[in-house]
Amino acid sequence: MKLHSKEIAAAIAKKLLEIKAIRLQPQQPFTWASGWKSPIYCDNRLSLSFPETRTFIKEKLVEVVRQNFPDAEGIAGVATAGIPQGALIAEEMGIPFIYVRSKPKGHGMENMIEGKVTKGQKVVVIEDLVSTGGSSLKAVEALKTAGFEVLGMAAIFTYGFELARKNFENAGVELMCLSDYEAMLPQAIENHYASDEDLQSLAEWRKSPETWKAE
């Protein structure tokens, strides 16, 4: 997992905090679907409602694709939150767009991949958020099975879990992100979205999210 740049990582984190796409509640943790307790909740779909932030994210993701995956012939969004981001990037670049469902549609053509399937086409996968990487890499596998050549993945934000790093490494998939948890923390403290007292708890969660404040 790599960052586009430290400067962009800080700028993206600040914008996501400003629009409350990233919310921090170390004293009143969120509960994820996995059952993990978490001091952070990240919903980058909110960025779509803020034109300036939406445009900034789009421009920086386009930079990531052009600089790191110059041979890209198409963009593949991961359902659901990666769909609008991917469509914006494909439109800006003037290349085809497809998206990948979490599971095949239960009727009609029963597609898992929506859009024109062109075997051998080189695509970049777009995600809004990467946690463990499980659902993201499932989409990559579906694309490969359908005959696409996956050049890599670009995402807005990642928690930077070691498990995710290992999962992407084992899958042989390059992941480029605009921002991550480590870049976000200084912005949260500096802009008063979290206190200095919260910092230790936030850092502890990042090291061991599966056991943090477990009951």
Give the DSSP letter string of 154-208. EEEEE---HHHHHHHHHHT--EEEEEEHHHHHHHHHHTTSS-HHHHHHHHHHHH-
Does 128 appear as a known binding residue?
Answer: yes
pLDDT, residue 1, reads 83
pLDDT, residue 108, reads 44
DSSP 8-state symbol, 47: G
Let me know: does 174 contact 155? Beta carbons within 8 Å: no
127 CB-contact burial (10 Å; exposed 0-12 / middle 13-18 / buried 19+): buried
In the chain, % helix, strand, coil (3-state, to 5) comes to: 45, 20, 35
Does 127 appear as a known binding residue?
Answer: yes
Does 133 appear as a known binding residue?
Answer: yes
| pLDDT tens column, 46-63 | 999 999 999 999 999 999
The torsion angles phi and psi of 54, rounded to 5 degrees, stand at: -55, -45
Does 53 appear as a known binding residue?
Answer: no
Does 129 appear as a known binding residue?
Answer: yes
Which residues make beta-bridge pairs with 78? 100
| pLDDT tens column, 81-132 | 999 999 999 999 999 999 999 876 554 445 799 999 999 999 999 999 999 9
Provide the residue ranges of all domains of the chain, joining segments of one domain with +.
2-18+50-182
Rounded to whole angstroms, how far apart are CA atoms 144 and 213?
Answer: 39
| pLDDT tens column, 146-201 | 999 999 999 999 999 999 999 999 999 999 999 999 999 999 999 999 998 898 89
Structure tokens at 204: 């502890």
Comparing C-alpha atoms, which of 162, 173, 164 is closest to residue 133? Answer: 164
DSSP-derived 3-state class of residue 111: coil
pLDDT, residue 214, reads 62
Comparing C-alpha atoms, which of 58, 127, 119, 125 is closest to residue 97? Answer: 125
pLDDT, residue 102, reads 83
123 CB-contact burial (10 Å; exposed 0-12 / middle 13-18 / buried 19+): buried
Does 118 appear as a known binding residue?
Answer: no
Rounded to whole angstroms, how far apart are CA atoms 173 and 144?
Answer: 12
Domain 2-18+50-182 has CATH 3.40.50.2020: yes
Rounded to whole angstroms, how far apart are CA atoms 193 and 24?
Answer: 7
Does 132 appear as a known binding residue?
Answer: yes
pLDDT, residue 111, reads 76
